Amino acid sequence: MKLTYSLLYLLLILALTGCAVLARRSARPARGAVAWLDTALMMPLVSNMIVLLATNRTMAMVGYYFLLISIDLVLISLVHFTNVYCQGLGNGTQKPTVVYLMLGADIVQLLLNPFFGHAFDARQEIGEDGAFYIIVPYIGQTIHRIIDYLVLLCIMLIFTLATIRTPRIYKERYSVLLGSMLAIGVMQAYYIFSKSTYDRSVIGYGLFGLVIFYFAICYRPLRLLDSILSNIISDLSDAFFVFDSNGKCIWANEQGCKLIDFTGTNYEEVNSKLIRMFGDPTDSRGRIPKKCVGEGASVRFYTLEEKQVKDNRGNPNGTYLRIQDVTEEEREIQVRDEQIGQISQEAYRDPLTGVGSKAAYDNKVAELNEQLANGLTEFALVMVDMNNLKQINDEFGHKAGDLYIKGCCHLICEAFKHSPVFRIGGDEFVAILRGADYDARLQNVEDLRMAYDDAFEQEDTDPWLRYSAAVGMAEHASDDNTLELVFKRADEAMYKEKKLFKVLHGSYR
């Protein structure tokens, strides 16, 4: 039995050593407190191994000295851990100095036992495994137990307060640690009053160290978090679909099921329903545009957003698809366009692409310059100049060139859905970003560049469908008092990109 318990203690010591090392290497705020606590929790295990294997009274006394002092050290480290882990749940200003002094004084009185013999002694007993030594408590050890239990009670009260005050998503970790401390206290009390041969309560110390490491370093409340996020998505008006890494649908919210008229439980049917309604996403080479579903008065418009989700190592876990019904917005645009009238359309719309004309751009510049004078600070300007338009016109004619211009313009409009786009020259376009497009400007500009790169790399398609353009962006700076200054920087950035294109691919334009 001695060998069995010694082996169990050794395994727990090794486990706690690994936890202490991993805790120290983690990025969690409590890493130092956890490493210290797990290191301290090894000491009662080591001291019990000494007591179990003791062959004489001196060796047993050394083990018991080490045990009692190590319990105080465990409580000191547990107080420090509690102060770090439960920070912000109390008044946040008072340090546990008094507790440290109490435990320090207890260590001192234990160390004075060889001189006064007031704390404890060791007595030999004969059991099933032969001779063993049990502790004989005196007044000093009684004081030791009172102090230790008082400190443990204070810590448990703090964790009880944390369990009550913390948001529900974090209650689990505090309540589990509280239950673990309560279990250790009960086990220790049972050992004291039962006068067992073997101190099984120190096994609880080792397990408690593992629990501390898990909840302070590794634990994330994913189950409750997943439930909360699922409820949030279910309550949104947009349709959401979640797919695994193989592209199979594994979940859809209520709006998504209604959209595709899905009422079953076999989510594998969702893929085919989505393809029938919106087409195969692979046909768009990963770029899903606005979709029109239905005809006549029943026509509806949707925007589709698909994004891949990756784990911490960058491996794909799956994707999600968000479908937003923008029918009302599209109809408002159509009504607004009708109200503009034919004359206004001719003056302010580019007849080939349908975006704003040079005249519309000049009006916009005057409007923004006035706003700049009144304190406008947050906007960006994107300059786009097509590559190889002259070559396409010369080799394939102006009809092919017009298709090329419209295709390049379409990618700009897709990249900046919420911003005005203007054609200010034969192959030059400008987009003025504000609001949502300004907030996502870096990603949107990068997406536009990728769209042009993808189109240009399609060597098996017609040359006038291999869209390519140089893109430059500039943001409003604090010393810009006119839009023209922002335009100049965007134009310079665009020409740097155009020069790089000529170096890589060649061009006579």
Q: How far apart are CA 501 and CA 78, in angstroms?
A: 63
Q: Please determine, looking at this structure, whether the domain spanning 2-219 carries the CATH number 1.20.1070.
A: yes
> Which alpha helices (DSSP H) does 315-397 contain, by range?
327-348, 358-373, 389-396
> Using CA of residue 154, residue 160, residue 161, residue 163, what is the dihedral sign?
positive
The burial of 380, by beta-carbon neighbours within 10 Å (0-12 exposed, 13-18 middle, 19 or more buried), is given as buried
| 118 has pLDDT over 90 | yes
pLDDT at 343: 46
Instruction: Measure the CA dihedral 182/188/190/192, to 10°.
Output: -150
The burial of 374, by beta-carbon neighbours within 10 Å (0-12 exposed, 13-18 middle, 19 or more buried), is given as exposed
Read off the pLDDT of each residue in 285-292 and give the average, rounded to a whole number. 58
- pLDDT tens for residues 148-174? 999 999 999 988 888 888 766 567 778
Q: What is the DSSP letter of 476?
A: P
Pair 3, 174: CB distance under 8 Å:
no
Give residue 106's pLDDT band: very low, low, confident or very high (50, 70, 90).
Answer: very high
Q: What is the DSSP letter of 457?
A: T
Answer yes or no: pTM beyond 0.75: no
pLDDT at 198: 63
Residue-level length of the chain: 509
- The residue among 145 and 339 whose pLDDT is bigger is 145
Residues of the chain with CATH 3.30.450.20: 224-328
Read off the pLDDT of each residue in 15-33 and give the average, rounded to a whole number. 90
| 406 has pLDDT over 80 | yes
List beta partners, residue 325. Answer: 302
- pLDDT tens for residues 302-348? 888 888 877 666 777 788 888 888 888 888 777 766 655 554 556 68
Interhelix angle 201-213/168-194, rounded to 10 degrees, is: 170
Pair 122, 70: CB distance under 8 Å:
no
> Using CA of residue 344, residue 349, residue 355, residue 360, what is the dihedral sign?
negative
pLDDT at 469: 94
Q: Please determine, looking at this structure, whether the domain spanning 349-505 carries the CATH number 3.20.20.20.
A: no
Residues of the chain with CATH 3.30.70.270: 349-505
pLDDT at 305: 83
pLDDT at 376: 78
Of residues 15, 28, 41, the one with CA closest to residue 217: 28
- The residue among 250 and 492 whose pLDDT is bigger is 492
Q: Which of 162-176, 210-224, 334-348, 495-509 has the lowest mean pLDDT?
A: 334-348
> Using CA of residue 197, residue 201, residue 205, residue 211, what is the dihedral sign?
positive
Q: What is the DSSP letter of 483?
A: H
Q: How far apart are CA 403 and CA 354, in angstroms?
A: 13
Residues of the chain with CATH 1.20.1070: 2-219
pLDDT at 70: 93
Q: How far apart are CA 436 and CA 380, in angstroms?
A: 12
In this structure, what token pair is assigned to residue 198? Answer: 């073997």
pLDDT at 114: 92
List beta partners, residue 293. Answer: 300
pLDDT at 46: 93
For the chain, give the mean pLDDT.
84
Share above pLDDT 90 across residues of the chain, in percent, rounded to a whole number? 40
pLDDT at 324: 86
- Which DSSP helix (H) or strand (E) runs through 103? helix 97-111
| 456 has pLDDT over 50 | yes
Question: At the topology level of CATH, where does 224-328 sit?
Answer: Beta-Lactamase (3.30.450)
Read off the pLDDT of each residue in 474-499 and give the average, rounded to a whole number. 92
What's at 331, amino acid-wise? Answer: R
pLDDT at 167: 65
Pair 383, 402: CB distance under 8 Å:
no
| 426 has pLDDT over 50 | yes
In this structure, what token pair is assigned to residue 283? Answer: 């046909």
